[in-house]
Chains A and B, each alone.
Chain A
Amino acid sequence: MKYKSFADLSDDIYANIQKIPASVDLIVGIPRSGLMAGNLIANTLNLPIIDLDGFINNREIKYGETHKTIINYPKEANHVLIVDDTIDSGRSLNNAKDDIHTSSITQLMTYCTVYAHPRTLGKIDIHMKELSTPRAFEWNIMHNSKLSSFCVNIDGVLCMNPTAEEKATSNAYIDYLKNAKPLLLPTLKVGYLVTNRIEKYRKETESWLGEHNIQYGELHMMNASVTENNDYAHYKAHIFKMYPKSSLFIESNSKQARLIANLTGKPVLCTCNQKLYIPKLSLAKLLVTFREYYYRTNRMFNKIVVRIKAQSKKLFK
């Protein structure tokens, strides 16, 4: 699984900005995520940007107050760069191509995507980076059809974490459960919701989820006995392991995310720092823990070697 956040997108664009021809004087973004990538390119190169509809309808280009005007209408541009974020099947790019062809625009056109699957490279002129599947992006992770196989945490991902005051008394906590502020709400069905809330708050949680139209396959909540040990990560890892087809866990806490990844051997996405914790780390962790033993055994081995040498010297004298 490869994950790209907004920060990665801007980094990858920066690293490969020289791939864009110098003669480009207008950037067209395919809404919405293509517009995002196009905006980043336009801001670094200080070129005007317009969305696809505006380009086809020849709408006037607007600039911010601090940017100098270069061209006023899309028709004045000589070389147009059409940007999308990814190319997978090529459908959205083909739609854009068809729309442009039917509107009889005759300028020089270059098609560019930031991420491209190796097998679709022939369909576009420029790509910034190759990216094979499985992959996920910060901008569509909650609105993706793959969400039906993911495990998602509730507190910190779907809604705000409770503050210390809200946790203090049971009345305040129930109040929080009823009126929690939503953060990232999925538009499609979520596979499994895994939360460290206790089983006795199931009613409140389910009513909150219904209120915000969140569809889900199953809701796993903790038993009261497990909570006493504060072993949240182990519990989540246990549930995550139960579903072998589930390929990603979305967690808000970075420490727990790392632990879950190490315990299950599957990738875990942390939303607070937009990092994907990949289970390769478990090997590194093993090395760290065993290095100490390695040094100890090495020392012992050396001692034994020295002793044997001394003994053998004595013998051969």
Chain B
Amino acid sequence: MEYRSFADLSQAINLNLHKIPTDVDLIVGVPRSGLLAGNMIALLLNIPLIDLDSYTNNDRLRQSHDMSIAYAKEAKHVLIVDDTCYSGKSMGHANSLIKGASFNHKITSCVIYINPKSIKLVDIYFETLESPGCQEWNFMHRDKVGQFCVDIDGVLCKDPTKQEDDDGIAYLNFLKNATPLYLPSHKVGCLVTGRLEKYRKETEEWLKRYNIRYHKLHMLDLPNAKIRWNLNAAPRFKAEIYKSYPHSRLFVESDQKEAMEISMLSEKEVLCFSNQRLVKRQLLGRIKYKFGKYYNRSKKKLRKIR
């Protein structure tokens, strides 16, 4: 699975800025995520930006800087920007719209991430991506999220603070009124959380309140939070569930350390939400992890013998 964050996008643009012709004087973004990439390019080159609709309507440009052109029609060379291109469907749609407007200026199309098959469809591309992959700006809003395992605390809602995490009244209050963070717009594959089974009712209520649809909700079956903490059971539980779904391709986890552990144990890819990095399957890391376990065990034994 290929994952691209905003930082990756801005870096790709920075590295390939020279591919854009120097006489471009207007950038048109294809809504919505193409507008984002177009915006980055427009800011770096200090060129006016317009979205596809205003462009075809020949709207007046509103810019904070003093720009040379006032209407879209006056531009001499236009750059049409989209973020990704796999089948070329949305780019083709954009092209037909532009042809309908029939302005007589030069038009160049530009795509940031492209499938090698559809390279011929565009004039400029920045990076090739074999598989569709995921982008930070849309992966929670595509139907692919049906194949993912998603953690609750730190992804769907804010993590509890230390005072709230007391396994008592304050915690119940937190479960009821947790502030939502990133809500998926499609049905999620399964929700895997380190919350205890006894809080299932509160959790389900909260999920229903925010219209989160899911296939299954897996919760940790342990008597109390202290035992969970002592056993460090959460990452092992998450990895086990993740492993039991062979079709599930991504686990979305908020904590960096836990993401590492889950990827080691399940031998699959885990996305760490807090730093927007994909933790890939690494051989060396796995060996280190296993070795560390044996090392700790043998250390304990040695101590006993002494």
Contacts and interface: CB of A to CB of B under 8 A. Distances in A.
Given A6-B10, A62-B51, A42 B32 contact: yes
Contacts of A26: none
Given A36-B43, A52-B62, A65 B89 contact: yes
A219 B66 CA distance: 27
A40 interface: yes
Contact of A7 (B6, B34, B65): B6
A22 interface: yes
A143 B14 CA distance: 16
Task: From B34, B46, B136, B137, name the one whose CB has the most chain A CB atoms within 10 angstroms.
Answer: B46
Given A53-B60, A183-B17, A6 B140 contact: no
Interface stretch (A43-51, A111-119, A221-229, A305-313): A43-51
A298 interface: no
Interface residues of B, number: 53
B138 A66 contact: yes
A44 B136 CA distance: 8
A181 B90 contact: no
Interface in B15-45: 17-18, 22, 30-36, 39-40, 42-45
B6 A62 contact: no
Contacts of B181: 17-18
B115 interface: no
Given A46-B141, A49-B32, A184-B17, A31 B10 contact: no
A10 B5 contact: yes
Contacts of B43: 32-33, 36, 138-140
A160 B18 contact: yes
Interface residues of A, number: 54
A13 B48 CA distance: 24
B180 interface: yes
A176 B57 CA distance: 42
A92 interface: yes
A92 B64 contact: yes
B32 A43 contact: yes
B53 to A, nearest CB: 5
Contacts of B51: 51, 54, 62
A39 B36 contact: yes
A72 interface: no
A40 B36 CA distance: 8
B6 A53 contact: no
A33 B31 CA distance: 16
A66 B14 contact: no
A182 interface: yes
Nearest to A19: B179
Contacts of A66: 138, 141-142
B10 A7 contact: yes
Contacts of B14: 271-272, 274
Contacts of A212: 22
B227 interface: no
A31 B185 contact: no
Nearest to B43: A139
Contacts of A200: none
A185 interface: yes
A17 to B, nearest CB: 6
B138 A43 contact: yes
A80 interface: no
Contacts of B90: 64-65
A191 to B, nearest CB: 18
A251 B89 CA distance: 40
A54 B44 contact: no
A302 to B, nearest CB: 29
A82 interface: no
A31 B31 contact: no
A5 interface: yes
Interface in A58-105: 59-60, 62-68, 92
A67 B180 contact: no
28 contacts: A10-B7, A17-B181, A31-B64, A32-B42, A32-B49, A32-B63, A33-B43, A36-B36, A36-B39, A36-B40, A39-B32, A39-B35, A39-B39, A40-B137, A42-B32, A43-B32, A45-B182, A53-B54, A64-B30, A64-B32, A65-B89, A65-B93, A67-B32, A68-B185, A138-B43, A139-B40, A140-B43, A212-B22
**Complex A-B, nearest 3 residue pairs according to Cβ-Cβ distance, in ascending order:** A7-B7, A6-B10, A139-B43
Interface of B: 5-7, 9-11, 14, 17-18, 22, 30-36, 39-40, 42-46, 48-49, 51-54, 59-60, 62-65, 89-90, 93, 136-138, 140-142, 158, 179-183, 185, 276
